[in-house]
Amino acid sequence: MENIHNSIIKIKSKLKLLKFQEFSDKKSSRIPKAAVMVLLTQKNNGTSILLVKRSNEVSNHKGEICFPGGKKEISDKSLLDTAYREIEEEIGVSKKSIEIICSLTPEVTRTGYVIFPYVAHLIDDSNIKPDKKEIEEVMFITLDDIQDPKRKRTIDFLTKKSRIRKNGFLVNDYLVWGATSNITNELLIKINQ
């Protein structure tokens, strides 16, 4: 068990070297913004990330696999506050149960949002209670499993003008692609540097 615990300690110390950036939403205020929380935790089989499957009742991205998070609301003082609010609403995790480690590069989605990702250590995952209206399933996948070449997938999309190729990976027979896959890949690059 000690080796497993050491792995998250090593990951946290490596990621903490990255500059934490509290993103400003003053620039381009008309561009819709969202924030997600990339939650790292220790499971018996290794350091894992938490992903959620969105329910079919939500208005956008029905049934997709993603990080907990959502759009910034007027009442949110910052994008980090958006991420905190969303993880509490979606999976019942309070900010007291996490430790912010770093931020990653903002990601533009196909729906025109800019997603601001924050990476945090989920210290206590015993109180996870998904809001069934928003979240159908909570899942954990180890960083080793994400990097397994057998899980890698390439997806082709046809648009009116061209064919677009995107990379993704499988989790519990679900395809993770788009912004979630891109954010995960950036995290893995930072960890493996």
Confidence of residue 187 (pLDDT cuts 50, 70, 90): very high
Q: Which helix (H) or strand (E) holds 8?
A: helix 2-15
Q: How far apart are CA 193 and CA 186, in angstroms?
A: 11
Per-residue pLDDT at 3 exceeds 60: no
Per-residue pLDDT at 44 exceeds 80: no
pLDDT tens-digit map of 166-178 = 788 888 888 888 8
Residue recorded with tokens 């399933």: 137
**In the predicted model, what is the mean pLDDT of residues 63-73?**
92
Residue recorded with tokens 């969303």: 86
Q: How far apart are CA 173 and CA 170, in angstroms?
A: 6
Q: For the domain 2-142+177-192, what is the CATH superfamily, name and number?
A: Nucleoside Triphosphate Pyrophosphohydrolase (3.90.79.10)
Model pTM score: 0.85
- Domain boundaries of the chain, sorted by first residue: 2-142+177-192
Distance of CA 140 to the CA centre of its chain: 11
Per-residue pLDDT at 29 exceeds 90: no
In single-letter form, the type of residue at position 1 comes to M
Give the single-character DSSP code of 78: S
Strand-pairing partners, residue 135, are 54
